[in-house]
Structure 1
Amino acid sequence: MNNLSSLLSPAVSPDYLELVNLKRSFFIRTEDVIFIQADVNYVRIVTKTGKVFVQAKTLKSYEQLLKKTSFVRTHKSYLVNFHHFAGYQITDGGTFIQLLDGKKVPVSKRRRQYVQTSVSQKQNGVN
């Protein structure tokens, strides 16, 4: 029954995310997660080691669980770990978060002000 509850809602602590696959349940450190990308009712969790974990959960469920951590929702399809931000870019092609590994994650027009405020607060140590 404990494993069933894990399937229904992802477990999280400030330090770890519980991931579930067909064979087992395991934990990864939240600080190792660069971003989480939505794909309908699945998410891709991308880590700094380059590993990608696919989970059958929604991005909204992870957003709720990680709201008191360093993660910021930048777009309808992205939840980004602030600890991996390298910069913020506004271009003719849109607004992007530049990550430490060189990747760019989009920031939607609707979330631009929220992301700018969140980045400022996190840089100033306000949560």
Structure 2
Amino acid sequence: MIKAILIDDEKSAIQSLSWEIENFCEDVKIIESFTDPLDAISAINYLKPDCVFLDIEMPEMDGFQLLNSLKYRDFDLIITTAFDNYAIKAFRESAIDYLLKPIDSDDLVQAVEKIKKNKNQNGLGTELKKVLTDLVPQQGYNKIGLPLVGKTKYVAPNDIYYCKSDGNYCEIFFVDGSVEMLTKKIKEIEEIISNKYFFRVHNSYLVNINYIKEFVKTEGQYLVLENGTSIPVSRSKKNDLLKLLDN
């Protein structure tokens, strides 16, 4: 029997997932569920589950921050999310699975089967440790302090789609659709948000590579981001960008 903990800031999402598990996954026993990430951290460290279903997008503490806060990590992980972006796709390259909301019962059963296979062959938590080391390094998810007028806004790197220069100003475009104007040049912003996931693709653009969907090499060459935004790529930046994306 697989002992599971469910974590999601939305109670309705937990209720829905619980119903799916109880009706389609007889090998899974839900031992606890949480809407508060801090409570979940304590429970995971104490109860030592076999599997955790984790919502990545949570307001107080995102899923990656929660993972990096754990002392006990010897469990298998299933990400639950409404966002199908580059960072989440990386999990599919490993033995860890992810479920897009609304969760499909067939996808859930397939993910649980993968966990059962891991348990028999690789031992629990093997791929989780790899993700925390390679795909989601702790430093990469530290908050970034953006100096706005009269305040500093702290955001996670993956809250930002891209930055656009406007002379001595810089616009920051966020995943939630909001935009902030900073009274700094893009070079200064590049230094502030220095991170392995950001790349200066053009004199006027700094892009979060997690959200790159396509690289169009015709018509002047440009990127298409997950939200449909087109970003020009300088010829001098093309080779370095391709090397980065291929690694």
| Same structural fold, with TM-score higher than 0.5 when normalized by the shorter chain | yes
Q: Among residues 166, 181, 199, which one is paired with 1:72 in the alignment?
A: 199
**In the alignment, which residue of structure 2 is the partner of 1:120?**
246
**In the alignment, which residue of structure 2 is the partner of 1:17?**
144
Q: Which moved more, 1:54-63 or 1:65-74?
A: 65-74
Q: Percent identity?
A: 24
Going from structure 1 to structure 2, the CA distance change for 1:19 and 1:65 (only over 3 Å counts) comes to closer
Higher helix share: 2
How many residue pairs match? The answer is 108
CA drift of 1:65 comes to: 3.6
**In the alignment, which residue of structure 2 is the partner of 1:109?**
235
Residue 209 of structure 2 corresponds to residue 82 of structure 1: yes
Task: Please identify the structure whose Cα radius of gyration is greater.
Answer: 2
Higher strand share: 1
The answer for unaligned runs of 5 or more in structure 2 is 1-138
**SS, match of residue 170 in structure 2:** strand
| Cα distance in 2 between the residues matched to 1:66 and 1:27 | 11
**Deviations for 1:21-54, whole angstroms, at most 9, x for unmatched residues?**
3332221221110001111111100011110011
| Cα distance in 1 between the residues matched to 2:178 and 2:210 | 18
TM normalised by structure 1 equals 0.77
RMSD (CA atoms): 1.6
Higher RCO (CA-CA < 8 Å; seq separation 6+): 1
**In the alignment, which residue of structure 2 is the partner of 1:60?**
187
The answer for unaligned runs of 5 or more in structure 1 is 1-12, 122-127
Q: Among residues 17, 25, 29, which one is paired with 2:156 in the alignment?
A: 29
